[in-house]
A and B are shown apart, each in its own frame.
Chain A
C-alpha cells in the first residue's frame, strides 16, 4: 500500500500535528500550518485526527495509488481530480489501485491537506512524522516530495462524509489576525503602536512555513535608548532571545514577520507580541499580496477565541458522528 509521486507540486510535505519538546535545541514544532483543515481531512477519511497527511502549497501534486483508499482534500480550494474527473473538496471520495489524483488551479486559500485512509506511514522521528525541511528532519527523507518518490500508507478502514461550508474556517478579506501586544512592545512609540493596528498590510512574497512577512505598512518609530551590550547596533536589535510561535518580529522596524510552524527558535530582533493561537491556522491560508490587519486583543479575548476554535472542532466531530 503506497502512493507514488508522479509530479510533486510546488512544495508538498508530509505533516501531522507536530513535534513538541525540542524547541530548546532549535527544532521547531512543524506540522500542518492549518491544523483545523488537517484534522478535518483526517476525520473525513476515518483516520486519527493527528495522522500524517500531505500539505500542498499553491499547486497540487499528481499522485498514483497502488491500492484502494479513501481520500479527502480540505483547506485552500484546490480542486481534486481522479483520472481527470473533478471531485469535491471537504468531502471523502474513494480511489482504486492505479487511479491518479491530480489538481486544478488554486481558487482560494494557500494550502490544501490531502488525507488518505490509513495515513502516510513515514518513519516517526522525535515523536512525529512532520517534515522540518530546514533541518532535513522527519517526513519523507526530511524534504519536500520529488517525482519518483513512493510513500507507504498505513492500514485504515476509511470513512465518509461532507463538511458543509458553514463548518469550515477561512480567513476574511482583509484577514484579521488577532494579536496580544507584549514582549518588546515597549520599544516602540505609542503613535507607532496605534499606526501598526491602523494599517492594512499585504502578505509579501517571502511567506513560507518558517514565517510570513508583511509589507506596505508604516515603518516603526522606536523609543530612543542606548543599545544594550551584545544586542547589536540597530534599534530593532535585542540580545538574541527565544522567539515564540506567532511572534511578530520587525527587523529594522519595517516589515513584520510572523513566525509559524517551522519557526527559527530565536534571534536578535525585537517582537511586538504574538498572533493568538486561534488565528495561526488562518495565516497558513494567506496568499502573497493578500491584505491583512492586526487586531489588538487581551488575554481574556485570546482565551475566548481559543475556546471558540475548540467548539468549532467539536461541531465538526459531532457532524461526522465521531
Chain B
C-alpha cells in the first residue's frame, strides 16, 4: 500500500492510504498518525486520522511544506510494517430501532430519498437483499463495529462493520442531504454507520436512536467529565437493540445522571481477526459481558 500525499493549501498535508475502505488501510492511517504524534515535529498543529486516510495541519511559518512532506514520507515504511494490534475498549450502545423521532424526520424528507414509499430501514433491507426490517436489524446488531474515524461534527463516530466484506451492509446516502437529523440518530451511508452526536444536517439513512449521550460540551454527564467526546478511533462498538420501555428507562437514568455505559478493556489484533473473524468477535463479546 503506497500512500498518496497531497498538499491541502499551504497549511495541510492530506494523505490517502487507499481509495477503498479496509481495516488494513485504517491501521496504516492510525500507525502513521501515532508516529507523527510521537515524532513531535515542530510546526505540526493538528493530527487527524480518518477511515483510509489522514491529515496533518501545520504552520508553514515554522516548517517548510516540502520538509514536512519528506519527513512524513520517511515514516511510511515503518508504519506499514508495524504490528496492527491495539489495546482498546469495547462498548455496548443501546439502540431503539424504528423509533418515532427518526421516523417523523424521514417522513419529512421523503422527496430527497431513493424510495419515497419505504422507510430508510425498509430500503436498507431491500438493497442488501435481506428479507425485511427484522433481518436487517439482526445483521446490523449481531456483530461488532470498529470506530475508524471521529469527526464530521464534534464526537461523531464512523463505524466499520467487523464481518467479511461480502456480508458488510452497504446503503447509498440520501439523494440530497436532509437539513435535520435528530440528536443521537444511528445513521448509515456507504459501508459506514455513525451516531449523530448533535442535531443537524445529514445524508445518512436513519435506523434508530440511542438514549446514551456521546458528546457533552458542558461536561456534566458523569462519564464525559474528563473528555467531552466519548469515542476515539480504534474503539469497538456493539449495538444492543432495546425496547421502548428500556429506552425510556435509560433516558430517565441519563436525566438523573446515573446512566452507566457498559465499557470494557479489550485487545484487538488485525492478523488474528483476518484469520478468524467469528472467533475474534466471540472473544470481544466475552470481554464485553465479563464472562
Contact B48 A24 (CB under 8 A): yes
B102 in contact (CB, < 8 A) = no
B window 125-148: CB within 8 A of A: none
B167 to chain A: closest CB distance in Å? 13
Q: Which residues of B contact A90 (CB under 8 A)?
A: none
Contact A240 B192 (CB under 8 A): yes
Contact B11 A245 (CB under 8 A): yes
| Chain A residue at minimum C-beta to C-beta distance from B194 | A240
A183 to B55, CA, bound (A): 11
B6 contact from A24, A182, A228, A303, Cβ within 8 A: A182
Given the known interface contacts A25-B155, A135-B198, A268-B190, the answer about A241 and B12 at a Cβ–Cβ threshold of 8 Å is no
Contact A277 B152 (CB under 8 A): no
A147 to chain B: closest CB distance in Å? 23
Contact B149 A240 (CB under 8 A): yes
A137 to B197, CA, bound (A): 13
B191 contact from A125, A135, A179, A230, Cβ within 8 A: A230
Interface string of B175-200 (1 = CB under 8 A from A): 00100000000000111100001101
Q: Which residues of B contact A265 (CB under 8 A)?
A: 48, 151-153
B11 contact from A228, A251, A277, Cβ within 8 A: A277
A287 to B100, CA, bound (A): 39
Given the known interface contacts A182-B8, A239-B20, A240-B158, the answer about A25 and B150 at a Cβ–Cβ threshold of 8 Å is yes
Given the known interface contacts A26-B153, A230-B20, A242-B55, the answer about A21 and B6 at a Cβ–Cβ threshold of 8 Å is no
B114 to chain A: closest CB distance in Å? 10
A179 to B21, CA, bound (A): 29
Beyond A20-B46, A24-B150, A264-B152, list 6 extra A-B contacts (CB 8 Å).
Answer: A21-B45, A239-B52, A240-B51, A241-B14, A265-B152, A275-B9
Could you tell me which B residues sit within 8 Å of A by CB distance? 6-12, 14, 16, 18-22, 45-55, 57, 60-61, 65-66, 149-156, 158, 160, 165, 170, 172-173, 177, 189-192, 197-198, 200, 215, 217, 228-229
